[in-house]
Amino acid sequence: MTGCVFPCETQTSSQAEPDARTQVPYTPLDVRTAAEQRERATHRLAALGEMTGGLAQNLLAVIEAGLGLAERRAHEPESVRAYIAAAREAIDRGVELTSLLLGFAKHQELDAHAGDLNKFLRSFEPFLRYGAGPDVRVKLELGSDIPDCLIDPALFDAAVLNLVMNARDAMPNGGEIRVITERLVQTTATPDPPGPGTYACVGVKDHGCGMSPEVLRKVFDPFFTTKGEKGTGIGMSQVQALAQMVGGQIRITSERGVGTTVDLLFPSIQAGT
């Protein structure tokens, strides 16, 4: 019957009661709900695509670095074993993160719980060192009195690894990457993040080529890259998505010829902060 959303029974009289089998057409609320569900699904798939691409690129780079170092130190059995162990760890992390992404695709909840950023970074430090490569030093500067925050360990690892490898790429001649944690208290509202509150902050700082204001404005645009064919253009948008999934924020400061600092800010969950 033209104009009906669902099949309906024909009434023999204008006074006839609706049949019990009559299907009720969508109300405006139903339509709105369906549209919202489609929008959420679209955002989920977009975020999944961003995470998958960045994850694959970074883990393969870590594995390649570990095997390359093992080849160059073939005459040092202990070193070879250490580098191969790092490559195996990258594979294990890849399996873990792949399971996370599959769960995310199936609408499962994130494994977000109260966590200590310093603890996560200490356990992940060897992995970051291998990811940075032999010409770059990774230095942890872990502050005290860092508040607990909601964190998903696997997503946090993926985000920090991404930032460290971006910093490495900004220093083609080598150098030092500082990974800094601090307690941040913001008392006033500003146009840029974060808003008022107490945060656990982890920053990744390099002294590389830096970014111009024009590049900085585009850094979160999907598929925007300054690395030519070597870049996917999804790294920073991936990190932003990972932070936002657990209620975090991201901010970037950069200057050409000076370097770049990327801060991930996670709201404190401790009472009284």
Contact 260, 215 (CB under 8 A): no
Residues 6+ apart with CB under 8 A from 197: 185, 186, 267, 268, 273
pLDDT for 51: 53
pLDDT for 237: 78
Domain ranges of the chain: 28-105, 113-267
pLDDT for 180: 98
Which tens digits make up the pLDDT trace of 160-212?
Answer: 988 998 899 999 999 999 999 999 999 888 887 788 899 999 999 999 999 99
Return the SS3 of 213: helix
Task: Kindly report the CATH class assigned to 113-267.
Answer: alpha beta
In sign, the C-alpha dihedral spanning 91, 59, 260, 152 is negative
Which tens digits make up the pLDDT trace of 114-147?
Answer: 889 999 999 888 878 877 888 899 999 999 999 9
Q: Classify residue 151 as exposed, middle or buried by CB count within 10 Å of its CB (0-12, 13-18, 19+).
A: buried
Q: Is the pLDDT of residue 31 over 80?
A: no
The reported pTM is 0.63
pLDDT for 222: 66
pLDDT for 128: 85
